[in-house]
């Protein structure tokens, strides 16, 4: 993997974990971990990798569909992440559903499955 593609590879490898409902319930909804736990670190990594991808998208040779999917995801994820305090509530739940939908669009745009990564 080239150094330029490393953020994209990391992002695509980690993105499917966003759909793990048991992980979310344990680490976010029930807060069975400490405040700066595993789920918080996961969100931080996801945000950093997405930002890195969007800042270097030309060398990544993203097509229009891939770039649009990344931008859509980021437009939902970044405000959620900035307001994220490790607490679950109904408003966050509706925002989270938009993030999940956008994440599915990214995986589809990249034809990415866990087996391909």
pLDDT band at 70 (very low <50, low <70, confident <90, very high): very high
For residue 90, pLDDT over 60 is answered with no
Q: Is 1 helix (H, G, I), strand (E, B) or coil?
A: coil
Give the pLDDT confidence of 97-117 residue by residue, as tens digits.
Answer: 899 999 999 999 999 986 655
Q: What is the pLDDT of residue 66?
A: 94
Cβ-contact 60, 70 below 8 angstroms: no
In this prediction the pTM is: 0.80
**What pLDDT is stored for residue 87 in this prediction?**
63
* Residue bearing the bigger pLDDT, 6 or 24: 6
Asked if 7 and 49 count as a contact pair (C-beta separation under 8 A), the reply is yes
Of 51, 97, 49, 90, the closest CA to residue 76 belongs to 97
d(CA 67, CA 42): 22
Report the C-alpha gap between 6 and 4 in whole angstroms: 6
């Amino acid at each position: 993997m080239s150094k330029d593609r490393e953020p994209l590879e990391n992002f695509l490898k980690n993105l499917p974990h966003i759909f793990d409902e048991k992980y979310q319930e344990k680490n976010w909804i029930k807060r069975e971990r400490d405040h700066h736990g595993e789920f918080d670190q996961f969100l931080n990594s996801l945000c950093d990798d997405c930002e890195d991808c969007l800042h270097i998208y030309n060398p990544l040779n993203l097509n229009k569909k891939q770039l649009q999917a990344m931008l859509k995801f980021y437009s939902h994820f970044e405000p959620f992440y900035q307001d994220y305090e490790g607490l679950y509530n109904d408003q966050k739940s509706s925002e989270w559903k938009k993030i999940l939908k956008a994440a599915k669009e990214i995986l589809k745009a990249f034809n990415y499955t866990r087996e391909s990564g």
